[in-house]
Amino acid sequence: MIVRILGEGQYRLPDDAAQRLNPVDDRVMAAAQARDEAAFRAALGELVELVRAGEPVAAEELHPSDAVIPAPDADLAESERLLSDEGLIPG
């Protein structure tokens, strides 16, 4: 699978990587819902590291991503803004 880190680029991960990403992703979401900035940043940092462990997709390759995650330096407010921009999360 190909995962894009926003502002950084794409990485190619083994297809079973989702199993490793999911539990961390759940923690990112839980932290976002609890509005726990520190926990959010920590969990997002873990997620980013898991993705970075993959192989960077060469700049001249053109592929859509299977998954997209926020930039590693995104804070909670920025991520929420991005999500709410599209109106998926009201308020």
Partner 1 sequence: MGLIQRFTTIFKAKASKMLDKAEDPRETLDYSYERQLELLQKVRRGVADVATSRKRIELQQAKLEQSVTKLDGQARQALGAGREDLARTALERKKAVQAQLQGLDQQRQQLETEQQKLTEAEQRLSAKVEAFRTQKETVKAQYTAAEAQVKINEAFGGISEEMADVGMSLQRAQDKTEQMQARAGAIDELLASGALDDMTQTGDPIDRELAAIAQGSEVDAELAAMKKEIGAGDGPPEQIGSGQPS
Contact footprint for partner 1 (CB under 8 A): 4, 6-7, 9, 18, 21-22, 25-26, 28-30, 32, 47, 59-70, 79, 82-83, 85-86, 88-89
Q: Tell me how far, at minimum, the Cβ of 28 lies from partner 1, in Å.
A: 5
Asked if 11 and 54 count as a contact pair (C-beta separation under 8 A), the reply is: yes
The answer to whether 66 and 2 are in contact (CB under 8 A) is: yes
The nearest distance, CB 11 to partner 1, in angstroms, is 13
Cα first-last separation, the chain: 32
Instruction: Using the minimum distance from each CB to partner 1, give the nearer residue, 15 or 85.
Output: 85
Least distance CB 63 / partner 1 (angstroms) = 5
CA distance 54 to 32: 25
Pick 35 or 63: Cβ nearer partner 1? 63
The counts of H helices and E strands in the chain are 3, 4
